[in-house]
Structure 1
Amino acid sequence: MLQQATKEKYSIETLRERNVSYDHEHGLTQADVDMANNYVEHIERTRSEIKPQIGDRLVYVTEHGDYYGNSLIENLHHSKEGHLSICEQPYVPFVWKENGNIRLSVSGGAFHSVNPKDMKFLKWTEGAFKDWGHCGACGNGAVTFLAKVPLWFYAEPSPKYGNFTTESYRKFYLTKDTSGSARNLYQGFDAAFRDENELQQFLKDYEGTVFKGNWENQIVVWCFRREYVFLPLSEWEKIDAPAEERRLNFHSEQVKIVKDMEKHITCFYRIKSQKF
């Protein structure tokens, strides 16, 4: 199924909303609007739910469970015939027309090679593109616009951690100190635990699952995300959960813990200080 192309999508007023800084410095013109509208129509006319193409967006999940919801099909892969080059986290790409379609210049990373036959169509979405405006290549001289493009899905085969992904879970890499000389028994970039009891309490609070790491003494922890809600004491007391003591921000305090098992969130209800 081909996408119905949008004609004359932008006016000076609506394009200015996405290019406030450009307009302030260079003054948005009708030539910029015509350029953007021409690109939008061309991009949308060349899209399809059947064939992934340069400029389409992609949900990309690595074998390590890292979830990227706005990856970009940025080019044909140069060394693998028939494969497409994917950018996990792209900046808004520069676009130009070539051979009846588009080509892109993309900054960002990391880049991967994917066979388009392994991609599944999810839905239509809006993708951002840009090109130089009427003032040409200069500082802050690019005009940004949106066009409807397909959103595809691809997950690398043989996931190391089952269905866990960073779309709705947190992931920690922790190294266990076996010398007994470190301040923390488990240490990572995003979390640290002084002893085994502290780690086990964390796993209980956040529905944590532990996997073997990439080397000896390393573990990988997947767990619920965290949310803090501060309430006046009178409202806090109404929360239907037992009061428990937890060490937060280096101080012990009374909290009530409620878990959203569908969204994978552990909510800590905390008492709002009078000085807040």
Structure 2
Amino acid sequence: MYTLESLKEINNRFCRSHEMTEYDVEKVNEYVELIENSRSKLESKIGDMIQYTNEYGEYFEKAHIDEIYEDGELYICERPYVPFVGINENNNGISYSTSGGAWEYLSKEKLTYVGKSKKRFCVWGNCGACADGAVEFEADVNVWSYTSSENKFISKITGNLYTTKEFNRMIIHYYANEYGQPKDGSEYIYFGRLNNGVWKSDKELQAWLRTFRAEVFEWGKNGMFVWYWKNEDHHVTPTEFDNLKLPEDTILKNARILRCKRKYDEDTHTVHTYYVWYWDEPDKDFYKAAEEQNKIRKKFYTLGWHIPQNQLAIKEFELGKAQPINLDFIKG
């Protein structure tokens, strides 16, 4: 249960504008008790969380159950703001006022119990409904999972579902004339949505698809839905970079082609990309160190523009170690 001190610690915004009192502590503790005592492992309750995956593979870790109807249908918010809690004669004495989106209807019977987790709620404090007047608190709720049976993206390679919990995704459009040249004076013929990306040629796009272990699905006219591995960048020192026993590749960073090395984690579907950037030298003046590091990076780790990014994938294609993805469907 909260004390005045512990409640203040998580309500800096309220405390900057108002004075927190024991009234707020008592009110919050009443709601914590009400919420936690109304949970059940046998069935979901309003205020519980759902790890929800929709038919497009989009994963929402903390979807909020806002309503439960008599027929067992749930009304959920995929990305909720902190919900306001109120007292109501129904729903075990609890009601919620929630903003956010999008909103969906789900079947209560298809939920699977996962466990418990802390969840943030709020109520109006002693100053009433006003600017910065909400007091936030946490209470234990049950967590459930729900994955749509209508998922549109099943890997043709592994047979597993693609979801944004484990993979990145992008819609890529092909925008070229009948000769495969860019339209309207643009340099590019492929444009990515959801996550930005542009490519000037089939060769560039294929190299990127291979580098990030992508799989493509047809998606409307001149479009494709692309699922690919997540990436984590690691800035390392020259010594650390040179000692990495990994294949060398190339990356475009801040309008420069840099040497890089990549490690592929099959378990997490993550590409770990290592390259020399700025590194910590606490014994040197910051500006002096940055100037010296710029020279080192430019001399030893920056390549000319004639070197393509993702060159390792291009070499794999040339040597027959990998095959490009057939993209004829996207070109109409």
CA deviation string 1:168-195 (max 9, x = no partner): 2110100112312332221123111111
Q: Which has the higher contact order (CA 8 A, sep 6+)?
A: 1
Q: Which residue in the other structure is 2:99 paired with?
A: 107
Question: In structure 1, how many angstroms separate the alpha carbons of the residues matched to 2:251 and 2:9?
Answer: 46
Question: In structure 2, how many angstroms separate the alpha carbons of the residues matched to 1:245 and 1:35?
Answer: 58
Q: Which residue in the other structure is 2:34 paired with?
A: 42
The answer on whether the counterparts of 1:43 and 1:101 sit within 8 Å (CA) in structure 2 is no
CA deviation string 1:99-150 (max 9, x = no partner): 2331101100000001111111101001111111111111111111111000
Q: Which residue in the other structure is 1:5 paired with?
A: none
Question: In structure 2, how many angstroms separate the alpha carbons of the residues matched to 1:14 and 1:33?
Answer: 9
2:172 partner amino acid = L
Residue 164 of structure 1 deviates from its aligned partner by 0.9
Match status 1:178 vs 2:176: yes
Residue 40 of structure 1 deviates from its aligned partner by 0.4
1:223 partner amino acid = Y
Q: Which residue in the other structure is 2:78 paired with?
A: 88
Q: Which residue in the other structure is 1:16 paired with?
A: 8
Match status 1:136 vs 2:134: no
Counterpart secondary structure, 2:16: helix
Q: Which residue in the other structure is 2:88 paired with?
A: 98
Residue 230 of structure 1 deviates from its aligned partner by 1.6
Q: Which residue in the other structure is 2:208 paired with?
A: 202
The structure where strand makes up a greater share of residues is 1
Question: In structure 2, how many angstroms separate the alpha carbons of the residues matched to 1:245 and 1:88?
Answer: 38
Residue 199 of structure 1 deviates from its aligned partner by 1.2
Q: Trace 1:46-57 onto structure 2 (pairs within 5 A).
A: 46-57=38-49
Question: In structure 1, how many angstroms separate the alpha carbons of the residues matched to 2:248 and 2:121?
Answer: 51
Residue 200 of structure 1 deviates from its aligned partner by 1.2
- Superposition RMSD in Å: 1.5
The answer on whether the counterparts of 2:72 and 2:109 sit within 8 Å (CA) in structure 1 is no
1:184 partner amino acid = Y
Q: Which residue in the other structure is 1:263 paired with?
A: 268
Question: In structure 1, how many angstroms separate the alpha carbons of the residues matched to 2:249 and 2:128?
Answer: 62
The structure where helix makes up a greater share of residues is 2
Q: Trace 1:112-127 onto structure 2 (pairs within 5 A).
A: 112-127=104-119
Counterpart secondary structure, 1:210: strand
Unaligned ranges ≥5, structure 1: 1-8
The answer on whether the counterparts of 2:83 and 2:96 sit within 8 Å (CA) in structure 1 is yes
Question: In structure 2, how many angstroms separate the alpha carbons of the residues matched to 1:246 and 1:19?
Answer: 43
Residue 228 of structure 1 deviates from its aligned partner by 1.4
Q: Which residue in the other structure is 2:329 paired with?
A: none
TM-score by length of 2: 0.77
Q: Trace 1:229-268 onto structure 2 (pairs within 5 A).
A: 229-268=234-273
Residue 63 of structure 1 deviates from its aligned partner by 0.5
TM-score by length of 1: 0.92
The answer on whether the counterparts of 2:82 and 2:122 sit within 8 Å (CA) in structure 1 is yes
Residue 26 of structure 1 deviates from its aligned partner by 1.2
Residue 268 of structure 1 deviates from its aligned partner by 1.4
The answer on whether the counterparts of 2:229 and 2:269 sit within 8 Å (CA) in structure 1 is yes
CA deviation string 1:28-68 (max 9, x = no partner): 11110000000000110010111111110111101101000
1:178 partner amino acid = A
Question: In structure 2, how many angstroms separate the alpha carbons of the residues matched to 1:38 and 1:128?
Answer: 15
The answer on whether the counterparts of 2:214 and 2:228 sit within 8 Å (CA) in structure 1 is yes
Compare 36-45 and 18-27 and name the one that shifted more.
18-27
Say which of 150, 156, 159 aligns to 2:142. Answer: 150
Residue 24 of structure 1 deviates from its aligned partner by 2.5
Residue 244 of structure 1 deviates from its aligned partner by 2.4
Question: In structure 2, how many angstroms separate the alpha carbons of the residues matched to 1:232 and 1:41?
Answer: 52
Question: In structure 2, how many angstroms separate the alpha carbons of the residues matched to 1:258 and 1:91?
Answer: 37
The answer on whether the counterparts of 2:83 and 2:121 sit within 8 Å (CA) in structure 1 is yes
1:119 partner amino acid = L
Match status 1:61 vs 2:53: yes
Match status 1:228 vs 2:233: yes
Unaligned ranges ≥5, structure 2: 155-160, 279-292, 298-332
Q: Which residue in the other structure is 1:187 paired with?
A: 191
